[in-house]
Amino acid sequence: MLLISPSPPLVAIIGGGPAGLMAAEVISQRGLPVHVYDAMPTLGRKFLLAGKGGLNLTHSEPLEQFLTRYGDRRPQIEPLLQAFSPQELRDWALGLGIETFVGSSGRVFPMEMKAAPLLRAWLRRLRAAGVVFHVRHRWLGWTADGALRFMTPEGETAVSPAATILALGGGSWPRLGSDGAWVPLLQARGIGVAPLKPANCGFDVGWSDYFRQKFAGEPVKTAVLRFADFARQGEFVITETGVEGSLIYAVSARLREEIAANGRATFRLDLLPDKTEAQVAESLAKPRGSRSLSSHLQSRLGLKGVKVGLLRELVPAADFADPTRLAEAIKGLSVTVVGTRPLAEAISSAGGVLWAGLDEGLMVTAVPGLFCAGEMLDWEAPTGGYLLTGCFASGKAAGEGVVKWVEETLS
């Protein structure tokens, strides 16, 4: 039986992650009644998981550089960050009693490197401001007359608020609540959605059994990865099927698009960034006497472990006998990736609700009173605090959008 809520809230927000909670804050601050619904038994689960990695809240680089991180979506994200900048995000956290610091890479973290204290303080403040939370409420779509359908432990209910914000997240780590099940629901309503794709994800290479068994889980420390105009020094990890980690995430959007276009993508690794190719070739050409090539590589160049494993895995055996060819491989080892890891394993999602169907307050123009915010919008960014900053800022924009819309249409 469908229970109809007798006193619907003025504003319903579905999704209690950073974007939905920020929207709830803005709306409650203007004195409007707002209820937040979430499928999970507790709120902000992905935010808490981000806290396990230290909670990289935002980045301290100048705004102009910060905005470049959103790539093609800069025009859409820029107004959101002009209204809620990375510095304002840090000030906001401080308002909750959470001091932040700038790490050596320019990334910004809470002093405690955790999400839980921030989330606890925030939920306390939202409750005090009158925000009502409904957990274990899974949104199922709309009834024929446009009410929101929820599955709850007591059965299905329907709610008809004046305005709704969807802040349902992307499709990564679905066990934390954001499973992308909203995509067909919005499409059925005529709302344009670009398919969700893995972003900041790992890739499959297809290692030999020997390499996989010996090196899966090993970090490759300090290599330079080059792909098209991308070149960066960093670290990554060998996985059972391929590669993942911060250096791979940074180039993941480009690799993903190359694979989509050509079925594979080949990047180059410089395994000895501090030496020139000529220096490497010269060292390799020195007589090695009775020493094995492995101990020659280690004693002359400091190359060992997983880096030598990568060379053995990917360089033709004949090239090992030729110092020039081997030096070329050490300075530009070709690694071919043939697929992304599944969306469920990715840090974030690309794709989502198309900006063309939204106004500047993030309202779906075809469905007046329906707004969207957070990772479910069609944008992506690398790790570095850009994801959370974008989610908070879009939550604020949608909250402001609702307030304006309610004032204009209902008063």
Residue where the block lists tokens 């990334």: 107
The answer to whether 47 contacts ligand FAD (rule: CB under 6 A) is yes
The answer to whether 193 contacts ligand FAD (rule: CB under 6 A) is no
Query: Interface with ligand FAD by CB under 6 A: which range of 13-21, 222-230, 258-266, 306-314?
Result: 13-21
In whole angstroms, give the CA distance from residue 395 to residue 244.
30
Read off the amino acid at residue 98: I
The answer to whether 171 contacts ligand FAD (rule: CB under 6 A) is no
The answer to whether 271 contacts ligand FAD (rule: CB under 6 A) is no
Candidates 111, 194, 187, 161; CA nearest to 378 is 194
> Considering only residues 38, 61, 258, 400, which one is a binding residue for ligand FAD as defined by CB under 6 A?
38
Contacts with ligand FAD, 232-251, as mask; x by CB under 6 A: --------------------
The answer to whether 297 contacts ligand FAD (rule: CB under 6 A) is no
The two structure tokens encoding residue 128: 């005090």
Candidates 129, 161, 148, 169; CA nearest to 12 is 161
Q: Which of residues 390-409 bind ligand FAD (CB under 6 A)?
A: 391
The answer to whether 184 contacts ligand FAD (rule: CB under 6 A) is no
Q: Which of residues 74-133 bind ligand FAD (CB under 6 A)?
A: none
**Minimum distance from residue 77 beta carbon to ligand FAD (Å):** 13
- 27 to 24, 280, 372: CA distances (angstroms): 5, 62, 14
CA triple 129-131-134, angle to 5 deg:
155
The two structure tokens encoding residue 18: 């950073």
Residue where the block lists tokens 């004195």: 31
Query: CA 215, 219, 221, 225 torsion: positive or negative?
Result: positive
The two structure tokens encoding residue 370: 């329906």
The answer to whether 149 contacts ligand FAD (rule: CB under 6 A) is no
> Considering only residues 9, 11, 13, 17, which one is a binding residue for ligand FAD as defined by CB under 6 A?
17
* Pick 89 or 329: Cβ nearer ligand FAD: 89
The two structure tokens encoding residue 353: 């609700």
Candidates 11, 352, 4, 43; CA nearest to 165 is 11
The answer to whether 198 contacts ligand FAD (rule: CB under 6 A) is no
Contacts with ligand FAD, 370-389, as mask; x by CB under 6 A: ----xx---------x-xx-
Q: Where are the beta strands (DSSP E) in 122-192?
A: 132-134, 138-142, 148-152, 155-159, 163-166
Query: Interface with ligand FAD by CB under 6 A: which range of 32-40, 186-194, 206-214, 272-280?
Result: 32-40
**Minimum distance from residue 190 beta carbon to ligand FAD (Å):** 19
Which residues of this chain interact with ligand FAD, rule CB under 6 A? 14-20, 37-40, 45-47, 49-50, 53, 55-56, 138-139, 167-169, 172-173, 177-178, 181-182, 347-348, 374-375, 385, 387-388, 391
